[in-house]
Chains A and B, each alone.
Chain A
Amino acid sequence: MIGILVLVVVVVLVLIGIGIFNSLVTLKKRVDNGWSQIDVQLKRRYDLIPNLVETAKGYIAHERSVLENVTKARQQAIDVSGVKEQAKAENMLTGALRSLFAVVENYPNLKANETMKALMEELSSTENKISFSRQHYNDVVMDYNTRIGQVPANIFAGMFNFKPADFFELEDEAERKAPKVSFT
């Protein structure tokens, strides 16, 4: 009788353990996936820029340097490695794009160009997607970090080496506060 009882308790405990372990794996997967989503959006931005520059070239007569800055910043962002350098280069690219958008305001013909309009909407949407994917990444990191810190999941986290994930942080406060680029 006691033997059966012990067996039942052991089986239940093992099942609970498997449940907790699986939930940790799921959360970890979400964190990894969240991180790769950010890269997907960054890559999309790189792909859009050459078209934008090409379209704008024909209209922008004076402020050519703005276009060159965007191209340069894009190349730099693609070339650098390392999380910190990457973040810095991305910030520069965002800044360069912002000044390009400001310049476009001075060229009504360019602003009215259908291709340009579509490209600008695409780019501002991609900017939003980048910041939303970062926000989502931080959301899932918070879920994951909270979970591995809680009893009893923390025991399994320790046993199977689930380490807390890092939050995505921007050094530039202004950058963090300006996720919206909208043209309406």
Chain B
Amino acid sequence: MTMHGMYDEIAANRRNSFFITVAISAVLVVLGYFIGQYWGRSYGGIAIAVIIALVMSLSAYYGGDKVVLAVSRAKRIEKKDYQQLFNVIEELSIAAGVPMPAVYVIDDTAPNAFATGRDPQHASVAITTGLLQKLTRDELQGVMAHELSHVQNRDILYATMVGVLVGSVALISDFFLRSFFWGGGRRRKSEGNGTAGAILLVVAIALAILAPIAAKLLQLAVSRQREYLADASGAKLTRYPEGLASALEKIAGDREVLEVANRATQHLYIVNPIKPFEKRASNLFSTHPPIQERVRRLREMR
């Protein structure tokens, strides 16, 4: 097995994620610039919006894992409850050189799994009983390696950071549009400035409408990149990409819908748990890359 495929894949994914983050920041800066130009001096509102976004994200960062585990009705388990699952995770945390995460099981026949927690010291992994029953040991190892890679790559931190940016963009746009429609726009400095002021106004409104959409699409692109990255670094841990590939095929072939998953938690899972959505949606609006593509990339690593 050549390892170069995996290392290349990991490096490329890091690069892509970085560029996408830069792009979202650029959207934020351009938006802020035009609205600032239009408003003249009312930076206070933007500052407040950014602070709100920051506070919300920080609380999500520190308490989010508990909330996610609670809404997914995940139960914490010990080694004696699920010996093999526990062993597999122990093995992989040794391979990854991270502390043993807390292990949770979701009592649901739909096959799925996710990881959460802000850093390797506060990580949790969860798996449904349905997935546990369907997978062989090698496949289970592949799935858990994917989840531990999310932990090791600090994807939760990453998603939070991108969330702050996207949230800020949305808040600023919203703030601007509302204040404009409710009369705040009357105090603009460009009043009586004719065409230039009008053009600036149109640009600011257009940006305020388009920027949140663009930021959201970029965020989804990051989410898909991080899935590929977790697949690749998971394969680096097990040195056996086929385990995850065949597990993904098994999960994808399943028709069941995970009841405890919702729009807020769908991006966390190893495959999108809301199947009808994934089927209808085009690539652009999906939190996860298509499974066939993930399987293909995994099989090419060998």
Chain A residues in the interface with B (C-beta under 8 A): 30, 34, 37, 41, 118, 121-122, 125, 128-129, 132-133, 135-136, 139-140, 179-180, 182-184
Contacts and interface: CB of A to CB of B under 8 A. Distances in A.
12 contacts: A30-B97, A41-B94, A121-B84, A125-B87, A125-B91, A129-B90, A129-B94, A132-B91, A132-B94, A132-B95, A132-B237, A179-B239
A121 B94 contact: no
Contact of A184 (B92, B97, B136): B136
B114 interface: no
Nearest to B137: A182
B138 A136 contact: no
A112 to B, nearest CB: 16
A182 B136 contact: yes
A184 B83 contact: no
Interface in B71-98: 83-84, 87-88, 90-92, 94-97
A135 B91 contact: no
Nearest to B140: A184
B240 interface: yes
Contacts of B137: 182-184
Interface residues of B, number: 17
Contacts of A34: 97
A173 to B, nearest CB: 14
Given A30-B97, A136-B97, A180-B240, A121 B83 contact: yes
B162 to A, nearest CB: 27
A139 B83 CA distance: 27
A136 B96 contact: yes
Given A132-B92, A180-B240, A182-B138, A140 B87 contact: no
A132 B97 CA distance: 10
Taking chain A's interface residues, is the majority helix, strand, or loop, or is none over half, making it mixed? helix
A132 B98 CA distance: 12
Interface string B183-221: 000000000000000000000000000000000000000
B95 A135 contact: yes
A133 B96 CA distance: 9
Interface string B116-160: 000000000000000000001110000000000000000000000
Contacts of A37: 94
A122 B87 contact: yes
Contacts of A129: 90-91, 94
Given A122-B83, A125-B90, 19 more contacts: A34-B97, A37-B94, A118-B83, A121-B87, A125-B88, A125-B91, A128-B91, A129-B90, A129-B91, A129-B94, A132-B91, A132-B94, A133-B95, A135-B239, A136-B95, A139-B97, A140-B97, A182-B137, A184-B136
Contacts of B239: 135, 179
Contacts of B96: 136
Identify which of B88, B91, B136, B137 gathers the most chain A CB atoms within 10 Å of its CB. B91
Contacts of B97: 30, 34, 136, 139-140
A128 B138 CA distance: 11
A128 to B, nearest CB: 5
A183 B97 CA distance: 25
Contacts of B84: 121, 125
Contacts of B136: 182, 184
Contacts of B138: 180, 182
A177 to B, nearest CB: 10
A93 B216 CA distance: 56
B68 to A, nearest CB: 28
Nearest to A128: B91
Interface string B12-26: 000000000000000
